[in-house]
A and B are shown apart, each in its own frame.
Chain A
């Protein structure tokens, strides 16, 4: 084995094709995109070199800060929601439903496999106000809360909560399964020993189950956080980033800047900030978990 790994030709043959493909489809476009950050224009209008102008523009663009804040706020809320509800569901499967949880697991998992656009259409109808009231507004009206009837998706404040609720609902089944597999792996002996020592309910969860589940919880958080920072399809399908740019995260802002405004250079700069943000978050979570491990 060691001999094989020392043989450069063997390495080249085994790793070469994959590395070449990886370079072509990933590294080259990344480098290309980095190059664009020093240019301005579009393939149709033509490009010109602008130096660091795009980076300077980031610092004084209120829409960039707004999109960055929206994306971060959204990622924090939705990741917490997805992992927390996933965890609660996993505990429910493992400790209360036990063997009979298959049906519930399937039902909760179902939204994960549904296309985002279909789920978004469902939510659009639930929160509709015109031409007919959707489910929510109809219920509000029928219980006499006529004054609370509103265009939930037509105003930034409420649209944010609906997008968050939709994404939590859609993905919590996935995290529930992920965490459930972790729970199933906890040896029954350990739990039994803890029970004999008097650990029950919350204290059992707090001191035994959750610490043993920590590695998977952290992995789930990283998955979830990086996924939600890059949110795109659900917002595009639900509000299109509107009204105005009230629900526009960095991804959508980048997309609009490049492909609607025809500013590919500035769009690439926005993409770079998003990549850095994702990297920082991942490093932060790893760093935290490593420190914990050292304690």
Chain B
């Protein structure tokens, strides 16, 4: 009997078994995952890799990746949310938009669902606590990252030019000037992404007023037009005015900013520890993992903030659509998120909001150092826009571009921002 005939004879049996099998009807599920990360990077890679293994066992389940433009993500979700057509899993902006989606009952209550599935203990309590701060005390999105932010620097360039890790803002500016004089670009930053620039303003303000500064703004105790904020915006605008970000900062995209630093063309890079995945990849990182140092945002004169306060976050969080929350999705979630922390750490050196239970071998020194910093961080605070509404969030980002090129004054920047924050 040749093979086609055999298949032909078998096929009615196969068909019958499919029709009769109760599991097949229930496990037919398409999980759409919307993420701005490429499939080769970060938590997106880990989730997709784990899904691939899962779908091999459960052929009825399909996981479909969709790429989102991070700068358009909020608009996209606004439209999808309004049409009650959210993707199954999606990266969500850390602002009130996500809270509104949850209030409308569109998002899965992660805490309840994970407890029901018996995987709540996989989550790192510190990450859960930071995440809840973002979203009015509820766990409505997965902390797939646990990040600490600060300045990464090129140790060799620092040593060659006799520069030490800056502890104060003045030391940072002096160091930048020294590099510029030597023809080395002091900072690499993506002005196209905008947030790497507003982060600097937020950090400066946190050093000026203390780590609870943005909570005080949210409560109305401080105004964004207050003197400390003007000082912060002016200090950051000055970095741009002096050309410390190199040419055309507003046209530099995220990857170019990383590459500029990893190719040794810039001395410093303000970035979160999610970039460890890039730093740990020798194909991308040309200056070598051991050549990268890390320091906290420096203190400012007369400020209340200290070097013990770290800008920390859970990255671009991922929310889950309640409409899709069925048994098939929960089975997938249980499988994927039981292994997420270990796999992300072992394969990419990523520090996530999930516990790492298996010690990976050959952990890069840089990852270990960052993990120690995260563990010892005393008072974590959130980034500049974290507690803003969607409008202030967008205005803060959009206007930082003219601020940095000197086309908008710090006073105007803050006036517009305060007006949008109403």
A154 touches B394 (CB 8 A): no
From B97, B250, B420, give the contact of A154 (CB < 8 A).
B250
B398 touches A244 (CB 8 A): yes
From B79, B247, B399, give the contact of A259 (CB < 8 A).
B79
A151 touches B251 (CB 8 A): yes
A44 touches B250 (CB 8 A): no
Interface residues of A in 238-273 (CB under 8 A from B): 240-246, 255-256, 259-263
- Cα separation A261 to B390 with both chains bound (whole Å): 5
From A151, A153, A260, give the contact of B75 (CB < 8 A).
A260
B390 touches A262 (CB 8 A): yes
Interface residues of A in 122-147 (CB under 8 A from B): 128-131
Closest to B79 in A: A259
Most chain A Cβ neighbours within 10 Å, of B74, B75, B101, B403: B75
Report chain B residues within 8 Å CB of A42.
Answer: 78, 82
* Chain A nearest CB, measured from B308 CB (Å): 35
A243 touches B407 (CB 8 A): yes
From B251, B390, B408, give the contact of A260 (CB < 8 A).
B390
Most chain A Cβ neighbours within 10 Å, of B74, B248, B249, B394: B248
Q: Mostly helix, strand, loop or mixed at chain A's interface?
A: loop
B394 touches A155 (CB 8 A): no
- Cα separation A195 to B391 with both chains bound (whole Å): 64
A5 contacts the other chain (Cβ, under 8 Å)?
Answer: no
* Chain B nearest CB, measured from A90 CB (Å): 37
Closest to B71 in A: A240
B256 touches A131 (CB 8 A): yes
Interface residues of B in 366-422 (CB under 8 A from A): 390-391, 394, 398-399, 401-403, 405, 407-408, 420
* Chain A nearest CB, measured from B8 CB (Å): 47
A130 touches B407 (CB 8 A): no
- Cα separation A246 to B406 with both chains bound (whole Å): 13
From B249, B251, B391, B402, give the contact of A261 (CB < 8 A).
B391
Interface residues of B in 245-285 (CB under 8 A from A): 246-252, 256, 259-260
A198 contacts the other chain (Cβ, under 8 Å)?
Answer: no
From B191, B249, B407, give the contact of A156 (CB < 8 A).
B407
A196 contacts the other chain (Cβ, under 8 Å)?
Answer: no
Report chain B residues within 8 Å CB of A260.
Answer: 74-75, 78, 390-391, 394
B291 contacts the other chain (Cβ, under 8 Å)?
Answer: no
A107 contacts the other chain (Cβ, under 8 Å)?
Answer: no
Report chain B residues within 8 Å CB of A243.
Answer: 191, 250, 401-402, 405, 407
Known: A128-B251, A131-B256, A261-B390. A43 touches B81 (CB 8 A): yes
B248 touches A245 (CB 8 A): no
B115 contacts the other chain (Cβ, under 8 Å)?
Answer: no
A45 contacts the other chain (Cβ, under 8 Å)?
Answer: yes
B248 touches A151 (CB 8 A): yes
- Cα separation A48 to B157 with both chains bound (whole Å): 58
B182 contacts the other chain (Cβ, under 8 Å)?
Answer: no
B81 touches A130 (CB 8 A): no
Interface size on B, residues (CB 8 A): 34
B247 touches A262 (CB 8 A): no
**1/0 contact string of B63-83 vs chain A (CB within 8 Å):** 000000001001100110110
B249 touches A154 (CB 8 A): yes
B136 contacts the other chain (Cβ, under 8 Å)?
Answer: no
Report chain A residues within 8 Å CB of B78.
Answer: 42, 44, 259-260, 262
A130 touches B256 (CB 8 A): yes
- Cα separation A160 to B259 with both chains bound (whole Å): 29
B402 touches A246 (CB 8 A): yes
- Cα separation A128 to B253 with both chains bound (whole Å): 12
Known: A42-B82, A259-B79, A261-B391. A130 touches B398 (CB 8 A): no
B104 contacts the other chain (Cβ, under 8 Å)?
Answer: yes
A256 touches B394 (CB 8 A): yes
Report chain B residues within 8 Å CB of A154.
Answer: 191, 248-251, 401, 405
From A150, A244, A255, A261, give the contact of B401 (CB < 8 A).
A244
Report chain A residues within 8 Å CB of B405.
Answer: 154-155, 243
From A131, A150, A240, A242, give the contact of B259 (CB < 8 A).
A131
Known: A44-B104, A242-B401, A244-B408. A262 touches B249 (CB 8 A): no
* Chain B nearest CB, measured from A174 CB (Å): 29
B97 touches A130 (CB 8 A): no
Report chain A residues within 8 Å CB of B100.
Answer: 44-45, 262
Interface residues of B in 51-71 (CB under 8 A from A): 71
From A130, A156, A240, A244, give the contact of B247 (CB < 8 A).
A130
Known: A43-B82, A156-B402, A262-B97. A131 touches B407 (CB 8 A): no
Most chain B Cβ neighbours within 10 Å, of A130, A243, A245, A261: A243
Report chain A residues within 8 Å CB of B403.
Answer: 244
Report chain B residues within 8 Å CB of A43.
Answer: 81-82
A44 touches B248 (CB 8 A): no
From B81, B247, B252, B420, give the contact of A44 (CB < 8 A).
B81
**1/0 contact string of A151-181 vs chain B (CB within 8 Å):** 1011110000000000000000000000000
Closest to B394 in A: A260
Known: A44-B81, A156-B407, A259-B75. A130 touches B251 (CB 8 A): yes
Report chain A residues within 8 Å CB of B252.
Answer: 130-131
* Chain B nearest CB, measured from A49 CB (Å): 19
Known: A131-B259, A154-B250. A263 touches B391 (CB 8 A): yes
- Cα separation A102 to B251 with both chains bound (whole Å): 39
From B82, B248, B251, B407, give the contact of A246 (CB < 8 A).
B407
* Chain A nearest CB, measured from B102 CB (Å): 10
Report chain A residues within 8 Å CB of B101.
Answer: 44
- Cα separation A263 to B260 with both chains bound (whole Å): 38
Report chain A residues within 8 Å CB of B390.
Answer: 260-262
Interface residues of B in 281-314 (CB under 8 A from A): none
Known: A243-B402, A243-B407, A260-B394. A130 touches B79 (CB 8 A): no
20 A–B pairs (Cβ distance < 8 Å), ordered by A: A43-B82, A44-B82, A44-B100, A130-B252, A150-B247, A153-B251, A154-B401, A155-B250, A155-B405, A155-B407, A240-B71, A242-B401, A243-B401, A243-B402, A243-B407, A244-B399, A245-B398, A256-B75, A259-B78, A260-B75
Question: Could you list 7 further interchain pairs (A-B, Cβ under 8 angstroms) beyond the known A44-B100, A156-B407, A255-B75?
Answer: A44-B78, A151-B248, A151-B249, A242-B250, A260-B390, A261-B390, A261-B420
- Point out residues on A near B: beta carbons under 8 Å: 42-45, 128-131, 149-151, 153-156, 240-246, 255-256, 259-263
